[in-house]
Chain A
Amino acid sequence: MKLALNEDQRLIKDSAAAVWKDRGAVERLRKLRDAGDATGFSRALWDELAGLGWLGLPFPEELGGVGLGVTELCLVLEEAGKTLAPEPLLATTLLAGSALLLGDSDAARTTWLPRISAGEVIATVAWQERARRDEPLSCAAVARSAGDGRVSLHGAKREVLVGAQAELIVVVARDEASGQLGLYAVPGDAEGLTATPLVRVDAFPCARIDLDGVVVASDARIGGAELLATVLDRAGIGLAAEALGGMSAAFEMTLGWLRERRQFGVPIGSFQALQHRAARLYIDIELCRSVVMAAARTADQPGVPAAALAQVASLALARTTDTFLRVVDEAVQMHGGVGMTDEHDVGFYLKRARVVAATFGDAAWHRDRWARLAGY
């Protein structure tokens, strides 16, 4: 495992930086938020991402992908994170995409992955039911036999990323007969499925999903609890990369302010009290970069054991969620009054950091899992 970018990876990172930046950073999210845009992201940009191959970066070429890995996707996500881009790359390619890619069903793979890569399908995974991640995962949603080999899904899911826009929702439900968790591929427009948009602080698209007897064929089941664990860990690593981008951008913004803002006749960045705090943030961000790089490369190792993947995912999420929150808290504080205004962009990072920290389990949850994995 080499913690350095190769030539191809550097090209991807550079072009990702250009693509997101060209669209205007936080300004774009602000406009979508203020307009109450029902889609919540740019479909035109989504098509462009498909054209660049990024929606299928970690999928094999025969399934419409590029045949690269989580490592490369994380570079794109990091750059997206810098601009707070709400396009559902993480939900579609890394959550639902990983479930399809690594799941049991060839039919589902060949049906959906080429369409995801082509930008025709927005996809997500509906797994969360409680406010906080728990272990074992609470899952009151059930899959009930509906005759003719079909099952019907009942229950409710919350915090489903891009849930109201997704054409494919991978739903986690417990088989009523066996008690086993299952992942079921469900079309977003299935009868009995209701998506209610959630307006959250970060203004990224998200929804509550109600399943009232959604009937699917039995081959819609693409995997069980082990698949879900792997999917959540891969997506968690992607989210950590996005968080790395977010904290880097908020930090850069703050450094700019420290150089520019003058009080007592000098730039406030010349005050040692602020310099040392900025230096400490820098240290923590660099440590985050190392763990994100290592976690993404671990996810790409063929046949990586689930426990090893879980351990690096927890390391990456514990560090990045904590550091992102600390960086944005400091960013607002150092900006002073202007940091409290809606007009300034820094508040968007603060809000996003809070959402990121509660998405796949917060730092405390991941530290607890680390200890459980290590046997203490």
Chain B
Amino acid sequence: MSDLDGFRAEVRAWLEEHAPISLRGRPGDIFHGHWGGRRGGFESPDHERWLRLMVERGWTAPTWPTEYGGGGLSRAQDAVLQSELRRLRLPPPLIGFGLVMIGPTLLEYGTEAQKREHLPPIIRGEIRWCQGYSEPGSGSDLASLQMRAEKNGDGYVLNGQKIWTSYADESDWIFCLVRTDPAAKKQSGISFVLVDMDQPGVTTRPIKLISGASPFCEVFFDDVKALARDVVGGENNGWTVAKALLRHERTMVGEVFARSVMGAEAELLGLAREALGPAEGTLADPLLRDRIVQSAMDERAFMLTIQRIQDAAKTGQPPGTESSILKVYGTELNQRRRELAVTLAGADGLGWEGESYASGHLALTRDWLRSRGNTIEGGTSEIQLNIIAKHVLGLPDGGAR
């Protein structure tokens, strides 16, 4: 314990001395911050300085080994670092799928050469990654994917299309699931390959969503080259790697939704008081009041479940099956909250754009629309329920996927 206390004192002193004053009190999260990459500009010179300082200590990837530029911290030390960052309400110096998805996967499945090549640029924020999984004909049935990778000399030639690729238009490299053995059955002919997007034949096209935003893209591959050394986990063994990565993704999604549901009660109550009155005392509409309470209780129960999973992990208990519920419950919780928010706002929640609407109300509408995708992206709720039924509850496989 005294070791950790010492570490805390050191971290605190270092942050007090080095963390840019202008960034204090401006916390972000894993979807709001500096994404890095070849095209990634900085919001301000202080953001750039903040990244450089943290990179020097390896604290953009605090728990990764120091030999690749990581911080080499234990989980307990990382928890101390994060709590000290929160104390000053500092933004993370760097965010992105390199840090939370492909990096952890390479640490688990990558060769030494792959780690040495790809981890340092992730840690330094030089390369921004995206995830090429879904295809137009392969959504929930991911293993039916058709994108081809054909052997050519000491590499592959890639042809096909990916879809729903988050931020592909701003990314530098993509990790893809491709079919390397068309003769093999489904899962067994798939490889996990890393592809540099800065080459002829790669085309990205953003998809406009019902919310008006375009966080997702289509990515087209037309005779694109990949190197043999960039296959992770061995040829035709990509499905194993893909599943490991999905585990990292699911943990991340749990954290994202933990953040997204926090503070629901205060937000909803504020909207309700504004729309219904009275400002003090019992809300005039008992049914909406009950829905606000339900939302608040759901949020508390969800947050406590996340805490329970974390506390069990800290005591060294093997990870339980509880984490399987985070994706499906967290996303539905966020949807109910967003729905209730636009409901409470009434006609104020109907604006699409324009000066006639308050920006907060416009955001409510867009957030509600965007939230509809939560139960589709990253594995639909239906797929999550299949996983729980089969792998957690041990119910028999009846051919229904």
Name 17 extra pairs, CB < 8 A, besides A3-B304, A290-B308: A4-B312, A4-B317, A259-B396, A269-B395, A275-B385, A279-B384, A279-B392, A282-B325, A282-B388, A287-B305, A289-B308, A293-B304, A319-B301, A367-B297, A368-B290, A371-B283, A376-B273
Distance in Å from the Cβ of A78 to the closest Cβ of chain B? Answer: 15
On whether A376 and B282 interact (CB within 8 A), knowing A4-B315, A270-B396, A289-B308, the answer reads: yes
Chain A hits for B395, CB < 8 A: 255, 258-259, 267, 269-270, 274-275, 278
Q: Is B314 a contact partner of A283 (Cβ separation < 8 A)? A: no
A370 within 8 Å of B (CB atoms): yes
Q: Is A272 a contact partner of B400 (Cβ separation < 8 A)? A: yes
Q: How far is the CA of A186 from the CA of B322 in the complex (A)?
A: 46
On whether A271 and B398 interact (CB within 8 A), knowing A291-B301, A291-B304, A370-B293, the answer reads: yes
Distance in Å from the Cβ of A140 to the closest Cβ of chain B? Answer: 27
Q: Is A290 a contact partner of B385 (Cβ separation < 8 A)? A: no
A23 within 8 Å of B (CB atoms): no
On whether A294 and B304 interact (CB within 8 A), knowing A286-B322, A376-B282, the answer reads: yes
Distance in Å from the Cβ of B344 to the closest Cβ of chain A? Answer: 12
Q: Give B401's nearest chain A residue, CB to CB.
A: A272
Q: Give A266's nearest chain B residue, CB to CB.
A: B398
Q: How far is the CA of A289 from the CA of B399 in the complex (A)?
A: 32
Q: Is A279 a contact partner of B329 (Cβ separation < 8 A)? A: no
What are 6 contact pairs spanning A and B, CB under 8 A? A267-B395, A269-B398, A279-B393, A290-B301, A290-B307, A376-B273
Chain B hits for A271, CB < 8 A: 398, 400
A318 within 8 Å of B (CB atoms): yes
Chain B hits for A364, CB < 8 A: 290
Q: Is A374 a contact partner of B396 (Cβ separation < 8 A)? A: no
- Contacts between the two chains (Cβ within 8 Å), count: 130
Q: How far is the CA of A9 from the CA of B36 in the complex (A)?
A: 47
B275 within 8 Å of A (CB atoms): no
Most chain A CB within a 10 A radius of its CB, from B302, B382, B389: B389
A43 within 8 Å of B (CB atoms): no
Binary contact readout B279-293 vs A (1 if CB under 8 angstroms, 0 otherwise): 011110000011011
Q: How far is the CA of A372 from the CA of B292 in the complex (A)?
A: 12
Q: How far is the CA of A291 from the CA of B299 in the complex (A)?
A: 11
A344 within 8 Å of B (CB atoms): no
Q: Is B301 a contact partner of A287 (Cβ separation < 8 A)? A: yes
Q: Give B317's nearest chain A residue, CB to CB.
A: A4
Q: Give B265's nearest chain A residue, CB to CB.
A: A374
On whether A276 and B382 interact (CB within 8 A), knowing A269-B396, A270-B396, the answer reads: yes
Distance in Å from the Cβ of B141 to the closest Cβ of chain A? Answer: 14
Q: Give B323's nearest chain A residue, CB to CB.
A: A286
Partner of A275, one of B294, B296, B400: B400
A280 within 8 Å of B (CB atoms): yes
B377 within 8 Å of A (CB atoms): no
Q: Is B305 a contact partner of A290 (Cβ separation < 8 A)? A: yes
Distance in Å from the Cβ of A71 to the closest Cβ of chain B? Answer: 13
Chain B hits for A294, CB < 8 A: 304, 307
Chain A hits for B394, CB < 8 A: 255, 259
Q: How far is the CA of A2 from the CA of B311 in the complex (A)?
A: 6
Q: How far is the CA of A375 from the CA of B272 in the complex (A)?
A: 13
Q: Is A367 a contact partner of B293 (Cβ separation < 8 A)? A: yes
Binary contact readout A287-304 vs B (1 if CB under 8 angstroms, 0 otherwise): 111110110000000000
On whether A286 and B305 interact (CB within 8 A), knowing A276-B389, A371-B289, A376-B282, the answer reads: yes
